[in-house]
Amino acid sequence: MGYLSDLEKIVKINSYTNNKSGVDEVGLLFDIWLENLGFSTTIYVREDIGNHRHYKSQHDGTSKKLLLLGHIDTVFPPQKFEDYKEDEHWIYGAGVCDMKGGNIVALQALRELKKENIEIKNIDVLLVSDEETGSDDSKHLTSELAANYDYCFVYEAAGENMEVVTGRKGVGTFFVETQGKAAHAGNSYTKGHDANLEASYKLQELVKLTNLEKGTTVNVGKIIGGIGANTISPHANLVFELRYKVASERDRVLSEINKIIETSYVYGTVSTLTGGIQRDVMQTSESSLSLIKSIESICDVKITSEERGGVSDANIVSSCGVVTLDGFGPFGDGDHTIHERANKDSFVSRIALSKKLFKHFIEKSNF
């Protein structure tokens, strides 16, 4: 398990999304490790966040291509959660399952091929730096590069029973700004236009768009407004999120959102909407289910699958029409908390699985 020493190195480097120097320090280690395996590196320089990194192997020009996708940022600011610990069964630290551990799984599987003198070809790696804040920058690059690939494996954490992920909800984040008119709540009550009241009506209408049977949720997670108890509120703001399992629900809710924003429930108020879909839905497809059957045949193992409510960059690649499976990393839990951990045995099984799949793909140019 020598690869765990590499995991320890990168876990001890704080790579909070907004800590550009730390994210880039982790990226530089992957440059060294992957270039030692014969990959060439293209760095997409960014000023305010870490650089995105695309590693390319040899391509023979006509064969299908596989993209291995990960992110190197984590969620804790410097000095909040930078320890690394191990016991008999678990590894503890920021990113051990989400998803520095997954990146190490892919790296080690490639290393083991190299040890067997197998030339790595038609397999590339993309590591982005801003996944934990919504991939607002990298999603454009990921979409552009995805057009060059036939398959994508994403190394987010496996399920508890080592499931791979075939579907993830789409997600959008929206901001509503409502303008009213201030007035003295005692002397001039009727002269004001209450933005807080307007926001409350909009909140209720937005939440009504939830359809749990279809997996659609609208959550107004933040509301602020007003000046004080003695003043009719001149302004209010809502922040809400949409999650959905199918594209038809996305379209329904987006249409209804616009109607709600355009409607003034309180006379004299005006509202504007910003934000939008961050990552579109990753729907389970016949292609992804067929790929799982192929993996079972190649590796002589039963693969279970699941759909998740959370999103990842798998949503982006899948939306580009690439056959995508997620959850190829180790099993872990507690991600985004100081209790994050990853199971040691799951590293072993996931590295073995990835190695078999990479070897087959190199030899057959297909799944």
Domains and CATH numbers, the chain: 3-168+281-364 (3.40.630.10), 170-279 (3.30.70.360)
CA distance 257 to 202: 9
Model pTM score: 0.91
Question: Can you tell me the distance from the alpha carbon of 306 to that of 169, in angstroms, rounded to the nearest whole number?
Answer: 12
User: Measured between alpha carbons, how far is 90 from 121 in angstroms, rounded to an integer?
Assistant: 33
pLDDT tens digit sequence for 261-303: 999 999 999 999 999 999 999 999 999 999 999 999 999 999 9
* Banded pLDDT at 316 (limits 50, 70, 90): very high
Say if residues 351 and 358 touch (Cβ distance below 8 Å). no
How confident is the model at residue 61, as a pLDDT?
81
60 has pLDDT over 90: no
In this predicted structure, what is the pLDDT of residue 18?
97
Interval 159-168: pLDDT, tens: 999 999 999 9
Q: CB pairs under 8 A, 24+ apart, for 352-358?
A: 353/295, 353/299, 353/301, 353/328, 354/105, 354/106, 354/109, 354/153, 354/328, 355/109, 355/112, 355/113, 356/298, 356/299, 357/153, 357/295, 357/298, 357/299, 358/66, 358/109, 358/110, 358/113, 358/120, 358/123
For position 33, what pLDDT does the model report?
98
Three-state secondary structure readout of 199-214: HHHHHHHHHCCCEHHH
